[in-house]
């Protein structure tokens, strides 16, 4: 069985994702589509709208055959570590190819970009360092350094978010020396960060979430942009759990933790860079919402995303030491959801997967998975009071969701 | 000016306290009454009903001349450390006597008890250790060991809560070698732990709080048992802050912290004794209220009070190292409230007080006071959402409350 991998967050699954899946099947000619999906906290350093179990279910109902979890130590990181973790896991589970969406849409250009940057590595690194020392953010430094190298025309524009991720996937394949083909699908109808609806059926997840959280927003409003299965699960979750998850649900916890922690403890948290611990405390003493807090924290030096990731790590109490220890190599594969094809694939190939497959937490007692467990515990506390217990228990008791056609 | 000290919590100030103050003035013949009062968290390991500022105001309005704060490192402790801190501070501020309420009511008996226990110290300590090893709680072990020594008739019954405290005050005077007279007033109308109203005007603070938090409870119900000034301040706080403080207000924070902390971090918290860290985590995963959590934690080995103190330290993130460093000697005197007499006394004697007098936090930058500041920060988060900011700022900006007649 030929397998293709996709790297996803599905926050939530929408028509653009469905389009990407169709194209992925076509381009790869694979028998099985495997998604490696971020867990409870996402790459932009925010809680997922819905728990990983519900998003995994959305994925399988919309055509993914098997969903595995991208562990916390990769999911909440910059593009390079995020891609490294995702591609490692897709490699471990036997994917012959990976297919990603990009603004570029041309796979050869990604390889050319990789070659170009590797042959100009010293100068590139030097320029990045120069710009960071000037006080700009890491992404800005990357982008400026890249342009100053005067890349040829055939090179991917690394100022676009999906191109950046795609570039890192390709780089990870090379670095890991994997026998995996890279494929890309052009993203046309919606830009990653679009906040408004610009097409009749395709909208970015950002604009969908914005509509969902708007004061006047209703779930009906987003129905044109998501598959029926997504809409049903959104309605169901909203009915049972009364609210979706967003940073503001966790603001009181974050503030409490910042105000009770010692500066020593804050300094030990991943992404709390030198000196940030004092700004964090001052902002927490003064802010009355997460948004207010972030606005007080924001400077030219730090992107909103970097600061949100830092907040995620403070919230989940994740230290630099814990991250470093776990981010060099994935050491388990947690199964979240599958259909018949996914199950068949697993049964056939699981003997050859070099990592333990985790079906149920209670029968996998390894310290490595601590960060995912803690993330799920904390994530559960952002649910409405009556539903926290159910969400907490899910992390321990939920077996992979199996959807038979 | 002759000064008498009282050790108080005033949670809230009631008629029994007023009676105690009158008797204190009579017995001591002092010109000024100084109260050393617990701050935001109390000896039984719970948040005070009202912030220290409001309780200090109640005290002065009801006849205390000067209120100073008993720091966190003494206020949230067993009788011995609590008494040591309180008597040290009353000594430092120049009290000629201390007057406490007790079930015994006979001061000579306290000195006799001290003599008796000191001359039987070895046997007493041996018996205490024996009972603790049998798995009973510390107070039970104390009480059993005491009875087994077959104390003579004239000896204070150390199974009564106020006798225990009184005994420790007398002991602290001796240990500190202070030139301070001990006086005691008999508590007659209400027992410390009484939960119901048993007299027309005197009720325990426990029964008053119980009535205030009862579902059907109204503030009017407790008016017969408190001075008019207390009633007014309770009404005012309830109007401005919408709620009084109790453990359930802090339950979500406590649970969050337990679920995000590593077992290493929990073990470092003061009062989290060997092995308790795992029970704490299990109980936090399962409980849906503070009361539920406590019920799951309770065993014969640990009293409710000991466990509540442990919870307080987890909530305020207070480590064993931080407590040990600060509980050997008070190093500052924080002024909370005073009237003209209190101010006159301070002006006259402050040159002779061997400790810094703290009027405003912003002009006292010593690390020693950290625990009080953190306690106030966390305490503020138990207020209604709109009022947290005001309470937070109070800790930094509020000068001692001055009430002129």
Q: How far apart are CA A333 and CA A70, in angstroms?
A: 8
Determine the pLDDT at residue A193. Answer: 60
Q: Which residues of A sit in the known binding site? A: 7-20, 101, 162, 187
Supply the Cα-derived Rg of chain A in whole angstroms: 21
**pLDDT beyond 90 at B371:** yes
Nearest to B378 among A260, A265, A317 (CB): A260
pLDDT in tens, B44-73: 999 999 999 999 999 999 999 999 999 999
Tally of CA atoms within 13 A in the half-sphere of A238 that contains its CB: 11
CB contact under 8 A, A257 and B257: yes
Residues 6+ apart with CB under 8 A from B22: B63
Q: Distance from first CA to last CA of chain B, Å, rounded?
A: 19
CB contact under 8 A, B260 and A392: no
Which two tokens mark A367? 């310290």
Which of A270-279, B28-37, B108-117, B210-219 is predicted least confidently?
Answer: B210-219
Which two tokens mark B102? 């007790």
* Contact in structure between A339 and A404 (CB atoms under 8 Å): yes
| DSSP state letters, A296-320 | HH-BTTB-HHHHHHHHHHHHHT-BH
How many pairs of residues across A and B have Cβ atoms under 8 Å apart? 52
Residue B373: band (very low, low, confident or very high) from pLDDT cuts 50, 70, 90 = very high
**pLDDT beyond 70 at B192:** no
Determine the pLDDT at residue A200. Answer: 77
Determine the pLDDT at residue A361. Answer: 87
* Contact in structure between B387 and B393 (CB atoms under 8 Å): no
Please, what is the average pLDDT of chain B? 93
> Average pLDDT of A10-33?
96
Determine the pLDDT at residue A295. Answer: 97
pLDDT in tens, A314-329: 999 999 999 999 999 9
Residue A195: band (very low, low, confident or very high) from pLDDT cuts 50, 70, 90 = low
pLDDT in tens, A239-296: 888 889 999 999 999 999 999 999 999 999 999 998 899 999 999 999 999 999 999 9
The proportion of chain B whose per-residue pLDDT surpasses 70, expressed as a percent, equals 97
Q: Are strands A333-339 and A97-102 parallel, antiparallel or unpaired?
A: unpaired
> Average pLDDT of A129-138?
92
Q: What angle do CA A108, A113, A117 make, to 5 degrees?
A: 155
**pLDDT beyond 70 at B193:** no
Higher pLDDT, A56 or B154: A56
Q: How far apart are CA A158 and CA A26, in angstroms?
A: 26
Determine the pLDDT at residue A390. Answer: 92
Cis amide leading into A326 (omega within 30):
no
Determine the pLDDT at residue B30. Answer: 98
* Contact in structure between B79 and B168 (CB atoms under 8 Å): yes
Cis amide leading into B251 (omega within 30):
no
Please, what is the average pLDDT of chain A? 93
What residues pair up with A333 in beta bridges, in sequence order?
A: A357
pLDDT in tens, A104-124: 999 999 999 999 999 999 999
Q: Which residues of A sit in the known binding site for ATP? A: 7-20, 101, 162, 187
pLDDT in tens, A46-58: 999 999 999 999 9
Nearest to B259 among A259, A285, A377 (CB): A377
> Average pLDDT of B8-15?
96
- Give B147→chain A minimum CA distance, Å: 43
Q: Is the ipTM of this complex over 0.85?
A: yes
Determine the pLDDT at residue B198. Answer: 64
Determine the pLDDT at residue A196. Answer: 65
Q: How far apart are CA A12 and CA B129, in angstroms?
A: 60
A288 chain-B contacts, CB cut-off 8 A: 389
**pLDDT beyond 80 at A211:** yes
Q: How far apart are CA A145 and CA A387, in angstroms?
A: 48
Domains and CATH numbers, chain A: 3-103+184-245+328-403 (3.40.50), 248-325 (no CATH)
Q: How far apart are CA A21 and CA A5, in angstroms?
A: 10
Which of A204-213, A215-224, A380-389, B19-28 is predicted least confidently?
Answer: A215-224
How many C-beta atoms surround the C-beta of residue B134 within 10 A? 12
* Contact in structure between B209 and B196 (CB atoms under 8 Å): no
Q: Are strands B333-339 and A32-38 parallel, antiparallel or unpaired?
A: unpaired
**pLDDT beyond 80 at A194:** no
Interface probe, candidates B72, B251, B260, chain A, greatest A C-beta count within 10 A: B260
Residue A152: band (very low, low, confident or very high) from pLDDT cuts 50, 70, 90 = confident
Q: How far apart are CA B256 and CA A379, in angstroms?
A: 10
B288 chain-A contacts, CB cut-off 8 A: 389
Chain length of chain B: 405
Q: What angle do CA B43, B210, B203 make, to 5 degrees?
A: 80
The proportion of chain A whose per-residue pLDDT surpasses 90, expressed as a percent, equals 79
Residue A91: band (very low, low, confident or very high) from pLDDT cuts 50, 70, 90 = very high
Higher pLDDT, A194 or A341: A341
Residues 6+ apart with CB under 8 A from A340: A404, A405
A256 chain-B contacts, CB cut-off 8 A: 253, 256-257, 378, 381
| DSSP state letters, A212-254 | HHSTT--GGGGGGGS-HHHHHHHHHHHHHHSS---HHHHHHHH
Region class of A389: left (phi > 0), else alpha (psi between -120 and 50), else beta: alpha
* Contact in structure between A245 and A47 (CB atoms under 8 Å): yes
Residue B191: band (very low, low, confident or very high) from pLDDT cuts 50, 70, 90 = low
Chain length of chain A: 405
pLDDT in tens, B97-106: 999 999 999 9
| Residue B67 backbone dihedrals phi, psi, to 5 degrees | -120, 125
CB contact under 8 A, B262 and A389: no
Residue B213: band (very low, low, confident or very high) from pLDDT cuts 50, 70, 90 = confident
């Amino acid at each position: 069985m030929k397998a293709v991998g996709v790297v996803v967050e599905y926050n939530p699954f929408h028509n653009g994702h469905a389009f990407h899946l169709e194209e992925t099947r076509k381009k790869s000619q694979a028998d099985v589509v495997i998604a490696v999906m971020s867990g409870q906290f996402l790459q932009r350093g925010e809680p997922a709208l819905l728990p990983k179990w519900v998003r995994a279910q959305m994925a399988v109902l919309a055509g993914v055959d098997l969903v595995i979890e991208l562990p916390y130590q990769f999911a909440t990181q910059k593009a390079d570590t995020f891609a490294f973790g995702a591609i490692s896991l897709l490699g471990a589970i036997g994917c012959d190819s990976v297919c990603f969406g990009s603004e570029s849409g041309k796979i050869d250009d990604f390889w050319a970009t990789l070659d170009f940057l590797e042959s100009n590595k010293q100068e590139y690194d030097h320029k990045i360092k120069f710009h960071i020392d000037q006080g700009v953010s890491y992404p800005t430094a990357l982008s400026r350094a890249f342009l100053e190298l005067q890349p040829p025309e055939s090179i991917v524009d690394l100022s676009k978010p999906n191109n950046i991720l795609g570039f890192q996937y390709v780089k990870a394949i090379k670095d890991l020396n994997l026998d995996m083909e890279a494929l890309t699908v052009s993203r046309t109808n919606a830009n990653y960060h679009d906040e408004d609806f610009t097409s009749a059926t395709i909208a970015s997840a950002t604009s969908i979430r914005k509509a969902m959280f708007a004061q006047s927003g209703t779930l009906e409003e987003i129905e044109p942009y998501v598959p029926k299965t997504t809409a049903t699960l959104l309605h169901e979750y909203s009915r049972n759990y009364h609210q979706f998850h967003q940073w503001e649900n966790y603001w009181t916890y974050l503030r409490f933790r910042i105000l009770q922690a010692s500066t020593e403890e804050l300094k030990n948290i991943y992404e709390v860079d030198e000196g940030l611990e004092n700004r964090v405390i001052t902002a927490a003493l003064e802010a009355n919402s997460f948004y207010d807090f972030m606005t007080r924290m924001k400077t030219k030096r730090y992107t909103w995303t970097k600061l949100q990731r830092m907040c995620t790590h403070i919230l989940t109490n994740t230290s630099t030491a814990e991250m470093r220890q776990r981010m060099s190599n994935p050491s388990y594969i947690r199964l979240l959801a599958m259909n018949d094809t996914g199950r068949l694939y697993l049964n056939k190939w699981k003997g050859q997967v070099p990592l333990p497959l985790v079906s149920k937490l209670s029968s996998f007692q390894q310290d490595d998975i601590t960060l995912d467990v803690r993330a799920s515990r904390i994530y559960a506390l952002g649910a409405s009071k009556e539903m926290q217990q159910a969400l907490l228990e899910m992390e321990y008791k939920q077996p992979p969701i199996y959807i038979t056609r």
